[in-house]
Structures are given as structure tokens and as C-alpha cells.
Homo-oligomer: A and B are copies of this chain.
């Protein structure tokens, strides 16, 4: 028998890991609910036709496809057809409904758009939903990149109001405050990037300009300028871009400077107004907690998901000197996502949380609550016979007092039981022996301090209810 293993790029989550992940999910869930977002869950499998063509050529290649069942039970005619389709699958990136008609969810956005279109007549718009589910991609696994990973999205569709953008900024602030991760929220507008391309006299080069600018952090301005040249931007254009990138100051000052540079671009002015208004709404919502807003940074080099974003875009990065980690969240305004499935003119805006990276950052910063790790607070040692009966009665009384507790199920040797207790990391063990039973008391041993004392069950419950 070969040693069992799991597929590359997938993970088992141990008890401690599940509890830590649940802590993140619960924190986010509570905030989403507080902000009036509603939960949605879609199936792991979608029809392949729902997914193909939505994520670009590379995306299509990375979709996990499910083999149709019962292929060997097909009739001869059908098999000829299957063989023909199989040949096509081998010769080009091609999806055949007779070989595979279903695939695993690749993200949460397309299933959400599909859901909204299917249920457009039942839903009340604006529809605010959150969704926290795994997605699957046949990417090459590497550190921090998995083939099964979790996405966590919050979106509003059916409203163009910038209050939505501001509320999503509040959600980011509140979430990372509660998770104890110091962050900077970068904000930009797709419209400013479009205006920049106009300024260069090359509106069709927006993509090239953005890709180059996005590397500013990594390769500096000299590198970016070189890449812009290689991508065919004129010297005058490069000079315009340099002017914009060199703008410094508060968000208000930056937006004023951009307005000066982009005053002749209607698109640019629209983007600037939208950013101003979003920040103003944010201030009104933040109210007395204005200092919270100091970590929001207008950053014209922010590029992010050019495929469907059309307005304000945001990205969250961890702002801690000892943590090196890319973006841990991002999102933006998109128009017409549901248009892919035939429902036109529904604007939306959403944000996403990178659960795996958030987990890693929290682990590094050691900000998970300590009590998450263990589970049960106390183990009852099993001394067998009448003491076992006594212990079972105590056990249920502890649980009735809402104290997570367990008994060692066999009256094994004391050392064996203590070794188990030690490995599990209980805060306390309870020792219900002859003396305790006869006195109707319990002996409680604190595993950290080694201290042991005999108390009544009532006192014992009091001790166990204290935060350790």
C-alpha cells in the first residue's frame, strides 16, 4: 500500500488552523451583516459554458473541468462522437460538453453575476451580498499559491451611488482594525488611468501605461520610463506621466494637482470628482474617527484588475515594518458585469479579502486570540470504577455550565492520560479520585503553573470561566 497523500496545491486544515480561519470568517461575517450585506452561496460546480471565455485565455486553461460520468456505458454511436471530441480536446484548448460539461468555480464574481441574472425578478436592488467560499485554479502551486483557496467578496449591484464605495472603505477599516492588521488602503480610478493615456495622446495605450506604472514600487521611475519607451509611448507622454507620478501631498492636494494637469480630459475630471466624493462620504461615515482615514492613500500608480473595473479601484496592503506581503485585499467599481449573461446596465462595486494572506500576516504578527488554539478547557482524568461514574456526572455538569470539557475515555495509566492532556494543551486537568468523590469535591490542576487544589464543583466552574 502506498503512503497516502493529497493533491499538489491542496491543504488539510488541522484543528488549530480551522479555528483560526473560522475566527477570520466570523469577524468578516459579523461586519458584513452589520453593514447590511447578505450571505450568498453558489455551487462548487458550474456549467462549463458559464465559466469559459470569462477569464481570458489563461483563465480558460486553468479551469478544473469535471469528466462526465458513465462514459463507458455509452452506446457505440455516442462513443464515436466522444472519440471525435476527445481528438479535439487533445489538439487545442477546447471544451467538449460530451466529455466534460461541468467545471469547478474559478472565482466568486462570475457565479454572483450568474445568480443575479437568474434571480433578477426576485431580488430587491440594490443587492448587497457577501460570499466566502473556496475556488479552484490549476495554477502551478508555489509558496502562498494554492489550487484550492478561499475567496471572500462583498459586492453591491444595482446602484451607482458613491456611498457604496465609501461604505466598502469603512468595511475594510473595520475589518483590519478588528483583525489587528495595520494597513494602507490605496485608492485610484480607472478613469484617471484612461485620462493619462489621453494626455499622452495615445488613449489606446492605457493598458501599456498602466502595466508599466504598476511596477513603480519594484523598478523605480527610471525603469518605468524605459518600459514606457519600449511600449511606444512618446517622450512628451512620458514627461506627462512623470509629472503626475511626482505629485505629492495629502489626498486633497494630490487631487487638486491632478485636476490641474487633467483639466482638459472629461474622463479625468470625472474620475477626480468621484474620488473626492468617495473620500467626502467616507469622512461623513467615519465621523469622530477621522484619524482612521489617514491610512487611505490616493495612488495613481495603482492598476489592479483592468479587465472589468471601470471606476474607483482600491487595494489594501499590510503596513507593518516586519511584514513583507503583497496585497491582502482589493476591489473596485465595474459596469455591466451581468451583461455577460444578458442583463445590461447593472453597475456594481465590490471588495475582496485575501483570506490566506490575511491568515499568514496574522500568524506572523501573533494577533490570533490565544484561547483559539486548544478547544476544550479541561480534561477529566479517568480513574475507573466508581470514580469513572463520578467523573461522568461532573463532566455533564461542566458542559451544562457551558465549559468545553472531555474525559479520557479509558481508565488507562495515569502517565498515559497526562501525556495525552499535555499534547492536547488543556489549560486544566481535573482529578476525580476516591477522596474527591467521597468529599463531593474536585481537584483541579493548572497545567501552566502546576498548582493543584481541591475545590467544590461550583468554585471549579468559577475558575474555569475566568479568561486564562
A residues near B (Cβ < 8 Å) are 1-7, 10-15, 17-19, 22, 33-47, 49-50, 61-62, 64-67, 69-72, 74, 79, 82-83, 86, 89-94, 99-102, 104, 114-115, 117-119, 124-126, 128-129, 134, 136, 138, 147-148, 156, 159-161, 163-164, 167, 170, 281, 284-287, 341-342, 375-376, 379, 388-389, 392-393, 395-397, 399, 402-410, 420, 423-424
Contacts and interface: CB of A to CB of B under 8 A. Distances in A.
Given A12-B40, A13-B40, A46-B7, A409 B284 contact: no
Contact of A90 (B10, B82, B90): B82
B90 A71 contact: yes
A181 B402 CA distance: 21
A86 B89 CA distance: 12
Given A15-B38, A82-B90, A341-B1, A396 B285 contact: yes
16 contacts: A4-B114, A5-B118, A6-B118, A12-B119, A13-B42, A64-B69, A67-B99, A67-B100, A70-B138, A72-B90, A79-B90, A124-B424, A161-B410, A163-B388, A163-B407, A284-B392
Q: How many copies does the complex hold?
A: 2
B6 A19 contact: no
Contacts of A117: 4
A90 B66 contact: no
B134 A44 contact: yes
A79 to B, nearest CB: 6
* Majority SS at the chain A contact face: mixed
B22 A396 contact: no
Given A17-B41, A126-B408, 11 more contacts: A6-B114, A14-B40, A15-B40, A34-B405, A36-B406, A45-B148, A69-B138, A72-B93, A124-B420, A163-B392, A163-B409
Contact of A72 (B6, B89, B163, B389): B89
Most buried by B among A36, A102, A128, A410: A36
A49 B281 CA distance: 56
A124 B5 CA distance: 20
Contacts of A83: 86, 90
Nearest to A65: B67
Contacts of A94: 72
Contacts of A79: 90
B396 A286 contact: yes
A4 B341 contact: yes
A65 B64 contact: no
Contact of A66 (B15, B64, B407): B64
A159 B104 CA distance: 38
Given A156-B409, A409-B163, A285 B392 contact: yes
A284 B389 contact: yes
Given A91-B72, A341-B4, A423 B126 contact: no
A50 B287 contact: no
Contacts of A389: 284
Contact of A11 (B43, B376, B406): B43
Contacts of A10: 43-45
B72 A92 contact: yes
Nearest to A14: B40
A38 B74 CA distance: 45
A375 B35 CA distance: 10
A285 B131 CA distance: 40
Nearest to A15: B38
B124 A164 contact: no
